[in-house]
Amino acid sequence: MTAALGFLAAALSISLVWPQVWLSCRHRRTRGLSPTSAWLAVGLNASWLTFGLLTGDPAQIVTNAVVGAGNTAVLAALLLSQAPLRTRTVLLRSAAGAGGLVAVAAGSALSVVALGADRVEVGTALGALVSLVGAGTACVQPLSMLRDRTQDLSGLSAIRYRLGAGANASWLSYAVLRHEPAVLAAAGVGLGCAVLVCTLLARRPSTAAVRVLPARGSALATAA
């Protein structure tokens, strides 16, 4: 049962990022994405991957290796499509948290490899920290949407967050069976935030694309 839930959670987590990758990388649609959330997603994947390696959790290892690649692609698309996000000031503000996460994960791995620290104890401590940060990170996107009810959300994939709700529900059950409180806390908050984003996207009217057609020397704007 535990293995089946782990497989389901991993499969959903691996699947959820690709609709956003397609939207952001293939169609260059990144409006509505939070740069801080995008940076933290990459940092969290690196940290959970380290946690999986330290605790010997194959579901975490496979999931975060694959999802980390997808989230890195989304982050790259976001930075390439929006030049203001590449300025020094914005980068220092949006990427600082992710940099700190990667530094802590690297330090944790180094303490085991170089100093001989107990890998399970280090992994448990790292998981506790990452779960707290992950819970906060999950709240960034919905809070951004709640603060500005008029922002363009055309770059957000609703499918991603629907899959995210299913993935977090699976991780929640998986963590209960494996007695992993760090994963349990992160999945619980993630589930609530994914449901909130889905609700906000469903209530927000879609922005119609505007196409300009020539008509006897004048331009007629028609909704595509």
146-166 pLDDT per residue, tens: 888 788 888 888 888 898 899
203 vs 53 pLDDT, higher one: 53
Kindly state the percentage of the chain with pLDDT values over 90. 42
- 163 contacts 108 by C-beta, under 8 angstroms: no
What band does 205 get if pLDDT is binned at 50, 70 and 90? low
Q: What is the pTM of this model?
A: 0.72
Contacts of 144 (CB under 8 A, 6+ apart): 34, 37, 151
The pLDDT of residue 80 is 94
96-151 pLDDT per residue, tens: 999 999 999 999 999 999 999 999 899 989 988 888 888 888 888 888 888 887 88
CA distances from 109 to 113, 152, 183, 223 (A): 6, 40, 19, 54
CA distances from 146 to 22, 38, 141, 169, 204 (A): 25, 18, 9, 23, 11
4-55 pLDDT per residue, tens: 777 788 788 788 889 999 999 988 888 888 899 899 999 999 999 999 999 8
